[in-house]
C-alpha cells in the first residue's frame, strides 16, 4: 500500500494535516509567504529531528544532496538555510505549540490503558523541570545566572505511556513551584513531585480542586502528630501518621490535615518521608507511586539524548520555542505510530531505524519488522575484548 511512499512521507501522514492547516490559518502563518510554507517548515524541522541534524548548514547540505527525493517528502525544493532561519524566527511558535497539544491529546487517549507499574485507576502525573544551558551573549532573553542563560522545560508527565500532558517553557530564573499556578488540576488525579514544589499554599489549592499530591517533606517540617496507623516494619515502613502543621503561616496556608509516611528504601537504604493528602491508599502504594516519579527524569534524559533540543538552529526566543515544540511533536508522533501500528520496539529503536531509512520506499511496518525489542535503558556490559587468550 505504501510502496510508492518514502518512510518519511508515511511518518508525516500520521500528522493531522487538516487540523494543522486550520491552526496555520488561525495565526495567519502563511500570509504573504511565497516560499517555504508552514507545512514545509514543519516537514524540514521534523526531518532535522529524525536525522539528528546539528545546524542549519547541516540541514541545507542534506536537503541539497537529496534534491531528487524532496518532492516525495512534501517539500517543493531545497531550502536555503537563511530562508529556514527567517521562518523559525518569524513564524509564530504558537502554531507548533497548538499542533503538539493536538498530538498529546491523541497520544494520551491511545495510552490510557497502559500499565506503569502500579495498579491504580486514577490518572497519575509526575511534575518536574529540566534546564537547558545557553550562552548569555547569544540568548540574552533567557537570563539564568550572571554569566549564563538557560531555558527550563516544566513538564507534567502522564505516567501511562510517558506522554507529556503539559509543558511550559520559561527562562532559567522561573522557580519550579510557580508552575503549580499554571496547572489546571484534574479532580481525582495524582500529582507526584519532589521537595522543590513544597509550597503549602499552592498544595492546599491543589487539594481544594480535588487533586491528590505526593511529595517529600523537608527536614525542618514543623508539625504535630494527630493519629498513627499500624505499619509493617518488615516492609520498610516506620510510621503512617495524620499530622497538622504548626506555625502561624503554615497553618494559614494549609489549614487541613496531611498524611506523613516514613519509609526506608530497601534498594538504596535511604529513609524517605512523604507528605500526601490521600488517606485511603495503603502506605506502600504511596511509596510505590513516588518511586514512579523517576519516569519524568528518564523522559528528560531521553529527549536530550535523542532529540535536537540542546543545540538550536536560531537564537531568538521564537526560534527556540519553535524548535522545542516541533521536537516534542516528533516525540509524541513516534509514540502514536508505535501504538497504532502495534510495533514491539522502543522509541529509541524506531528513531535509529528512521534516521537511516527515511528515503527508502517500503512499508513502515516492514522497515521495523524483525528488530528485537530494545529498551532505552539497556546497557551492554559485555564488550568485545581486544585480546583473547
pLDDT at residue 107 in the model: 94
pLDDT tens by residue, 358-380:
888 888 888 886 554 444 444 34
pLDDT by residue (tens digit) across 186-201?
A: 999 999 999 999 999 9
pLDDT of residue 373: 41
Res 169: pLDDT: 94
Q: Confidence class of residue 346 from pLDDT cuts 50, 70 and 90?
A: confident
pLDDT tens digits, 295-335: 999 999 888 888 888 889 999 999 999 999 999 999 999 99
pLDDT above 90 covers what percent of the chain?
Answer: 64
Q: What is d(CA 220, CA 126) in angstroms, rounded to the nearest whole number?
A: 24
Adjacent-strand bridge partners of 124:
190
Q: What is the DSSP string of 239-284?
A: EEEEEEE-SHHHHHH--S-EEEEEEE-TTT--EEEEEES--SS-HH
Query: How far is 57 from 41, CA to CA, in rounded Å?
Result: 15
H helices of the chain, in order, are: 7-12, 17-26, 38-50, 56-65, 70-73, 81-90, 94-110, 200-208, 248-253, 283-291, 294-306, 317-340, 347-357, 364-368
Residue range 11-39, pLDDT digits in tens: 999 999 999 999 999 999 998 888 889 99
pLDDT mean across residues, the chain: 88
Output the CA torsion 5→9→13→19 (10° steps): -140
Alpha-carbon separation of residue 320 from 128, 184, 383 (angstroms): 20, 25, 39
Return the pLDDT at 376: 43
| Exposure letters 340-371 (e unless 16+ CB within 10 A, then b) | eeebebbbbbbbbbbeebbbeeeebeebbeee
pLDDT tens per residue, range 100-156: 999 999 999 999 888 888 888 889 999 999 999 999 999 999 999 888 999 999 999
pLDDT tens, 149-164?
999 999 999 999 889 9
pLDDT of residue 348: 83
For 99, phi and psi rounded to 5 degrees?
-60, -45
pLDDT of 260-293, one tens digit each? 999 998 888 899 999 999 999 999 999 999 999 9
Pairing status of strand 163-171 against strand 237-245: unpaired
Note the pLDDT of residue 344.
Answer: 85
Amino acid at each position: 500500500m505504501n510502496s510508492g511512499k518514502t518512510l518519511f512521507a508515511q511518518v508525516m501522514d500520521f500528522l493531522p494535516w487538516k487540523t494543522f492547516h486550520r491552526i496555520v490559518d488561525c495565526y495567519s502563518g502563511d500570509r504573504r509567504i511565497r516560499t517555504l510554507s508552514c507545512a514545509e517548515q514543519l516537514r524540514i524541522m521534523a526531518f532535522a529531528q529524525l536525522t539528528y541534524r546539528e545546524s542549519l548548514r547541516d540541514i541545507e547540505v542534506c536537503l541539497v544532496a537529496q534534491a531528487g527525493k524532496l518532492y516525495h517528502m512534501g517539500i517543493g525544493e531545497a531550502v536555503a538555510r537563511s530562508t529556514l532561519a527567517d521562518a523559525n524566527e518569524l513564524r509564530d511558535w504558537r502554531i507548533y505549540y497548538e499542533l503538539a497539544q493536538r498530538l498529546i491529546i491523541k497520544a494520551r487517549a491511545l495510552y490510557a490503558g497502559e500499565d506503569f507499574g502500579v495498579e491504580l485507576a486514577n490518572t497519575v502525573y509526575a511534575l518536574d523541570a529540566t534546564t537547558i544551558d545557553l550562552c548569555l551573549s547569544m540568548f540574552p532573553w533567557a537570563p539564568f545566572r550572571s554569566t549564563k542563560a538557560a531555558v527550563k522545560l516544566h513538564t507534567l508527565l502522564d505516567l501511562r505511556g510517558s506522554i507529556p500532558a503539559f509543558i511550559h517553557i520559561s527562562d532559567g530564573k522561573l522557580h519550579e513551584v510557580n508552575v503549580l499556578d499554571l496547572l489546571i488540576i484534574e479532580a481525582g488525579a495524582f500529582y507526584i513531585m519532589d521537595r522543590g514544589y513544597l509550597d503549602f499554599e499552592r498544595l492546599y489549592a491543589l487539594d481544594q480542586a480535588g487533586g491528590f499530591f505526593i511529595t517529600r517533606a523537608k527536614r525542618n517540617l514543623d508539625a504535630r502528630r494527630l493519629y498513627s496507623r499500624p505499619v509493617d516494619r518488615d516492609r520498610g515502613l516506620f510510621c503512617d501518621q495524620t499530622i497538622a502543621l504548626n506555625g502561624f503561616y503554615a497553618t494559614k496556608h494549609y489549614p487541613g490535615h496531611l498524611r506523613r509516611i516514613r519509609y526506608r528504601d530497601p534498594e538504596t537504604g535511604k529513609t524517605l518521608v512523604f507528605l500526601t493528602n490521600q488517606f485511603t491508599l495503603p502506605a506502600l502504594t504511596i511509596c510505590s507511586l513516588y518511586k514512579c516519579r523517576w519516569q519524568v527524569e528518564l523522559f528528560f534524559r531521553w529527549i536530550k539524548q535523542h532529540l535536537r533540543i540542546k543545540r538550536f538552529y536560531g537564537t531568538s526566543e521564537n526560534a527556540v520555542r519553535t524548535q522545542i515544540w516541533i521536537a516534542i511533536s516528533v516525540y509524541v508522533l513516534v509514540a502514536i505510530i508505535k501504538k497504532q501500528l502495534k510495533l514491539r520496539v522502543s522509541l529509541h529503536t524506531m528513531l535509529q531505524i528512521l534516521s537511516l531509512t527515511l528515503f527508502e520506499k517500503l512499508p513502515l511496518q516492514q522497515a521495523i519488522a524483525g528488530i528485537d525489542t530494545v529498551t532505552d535503558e539497556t546497557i551492554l556490559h559485555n564488550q568485545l575484548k581486544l585480546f583473547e587468550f
